[in-house]
Amino acid sequence: MEAKSNQLVIIGIGNPDRADDGVGPLVIARLDQLPGARLLSLQRDAFAIIEAWGIAEKVVLIDAAAVATTPGRIHRIDLAVDRLPCDLGLASTHAFGLAEAISLARSLGLLPAKVIVYAVEGVCFEPGAPMTPEVVAAADQVSQLVAAERLTKVVARATTPVGTLRF
């Protein structure tokens, strides 16, 4: 068995050609060259994320979620203490979604020790449509939050209940 890597892996999931679905790759582009982190954008289905995080102990995942309350709303979920809420709609734009990949990895014992999910509520997932202004603004905020977590060298535990975060 390979030794776990202490490197932080940050994965943005989504298709930039499908409006708000591209929030994950946009955050990765905004984080360009973040020191001490491996940055990845994935447009394929989320099966690839299990392979992408490999042996990392710390992973941050950024993905779009179907709108539940407000476009651009940011949810930060620490999988060490919380499960992904079923009503967040993380699987809505991918054949095999992030929620299913996390569940599979947990079942197989492949889930890294620290996983933080940033889910941004989106409203438009149409091919060729531009990203909504609320989601663009949220991508900027998520970029700052992820960079702050990295620079403090802590992937911190969320202290606010899931669904009540609003940055």
Query: Mean pLDDT, to the nearest integer, of 125-151?
Result: 93
Q: What is the pTM of this model?
A: 0.83
* Half-sphere exposure of residue 58: CA atoms within 13 angstroms, side-chain side: 15
Lowest mean pLDDT among 87-91, 137-141, 142-146: 87-91
Provide the 8-state DSSP code for 17. T
> What is the spatial distance between Cα 78 and Cα 59, in angstroms, rounded to a whole number?
10
Provide the 8-state DSSP code for 86. G
Give me the pLDDT at residue 87, please: 61
**One-letter amino acid for residue 48 of the chain:** A
Give me the pLDDT at residue 92, please: 45
Q: How confident is the model at residue 165 (pLDDT cuts 50, 70, 90)?
A: very low
For the chain, which domains are there? 5-151 (3.40.50.1450)
The whole-chain average pLDDT of the chain stands at 82
Q: In terms of DSSP H, where are the helices of the chain?
A: 23-30, 47-53, 98-108, 133-151
Each residue's pLDDT tens digit, 65-101: 888 789 999 999 999 888 777 666 664 455 567 888 8
- To the nearest 10 degrees (0 to 180), the angle between helices 133-151 and 23-30 is 50
> What is the spatial distance between Cα 121 and Cα 32, in angstroms, rounded to a whole number?
23
Beta strands at 74-78 and 114-122: parallel, antiparallel or unpaired? antiparallel
Q: How confident is the model at residue 160 (pLDDT cuts 50, 70, 90)?
A: very low
pLDDT over 60 (residue 34): yes
Contact 119, 93 (CB under 8 A): no
| Distances in whole angstroms, Cα of residue 56 to Cα of each of 36, 106, 121, 127, 139 | 13, 14, 27, 33, 24
Question: Where is pLDDT greater, at 13 or 101?
Answer: 13
Give me the pLDDT at residue 91, please: 47
